[in-house]
Amino acid sequence: MYSRADGTMATWAANGARFYFRSTAGIQLWEPTGKVQTVSPGLQWIRPWPSSDGSHITFSSLNAQGNHLVGILDTNGGPVAQASPEPRQNPGFLTPTLIWYAGEQLCTTTTPCGFGGPAQNGKFYV
């Protein structure tokens, strides 16, 4: 059994053999051997979703203006990729290589979104 006080926003990947979670250190990986390592320092992902083959995890993260950006973590150790430079939210894999996500209204320093975050703009993307 593994337990920690600051772990949140967790998901299993790689056919249930690896457990990824968010902590104050960033994204961490727990392996069945008991080893825990930081795989993406400082990243504070939201709603992670693994691909069915376990090779990637898609997620949202917040930028400085409060917009969500969709990222993709390569579970084989590759770099984190950004799916779009535009505000997007709630990504999920349709297949091991296709991601679905929703568009959202742009928050800026002059038009902040406030509590509850940005509203969806009614557009969806694959």
Q: What is the pLDDT along the chain (126 residues), one digit of tens a residue?
A: 566 777 889 999 877 789 999 999 999 999 888 899 999 999 999 999 999 999 999 999 988 888 899 999 999 988 899 999 889 999 999 999 999 999 988 888 887 777 777 888 888 988
d(CA 40, CA 81): 12
Q: Looking at residue 65, what DSSP letter applies? A: T
**Whole-angstrom Cα distance, residue 126 to residue 124?**
7
Whole-number pLDDT of residue 6: 78
* pLDDT recorded at residue 78: 87
State residue 2's pLDDT score.
60
Fold of 8-125: Neuraminidase (2.120.10)
- Name the pTM for this structure: 0.87
Burial class (CB within 10 angstroms; exposed 0-12, middle 13-18, buried 19+) of 33: exposed
Alpha-carbon distance 58 to 60, whole Å? 7
DSSP 8-state class, residue 97: S
| DSSP summary character for residue 32 | T
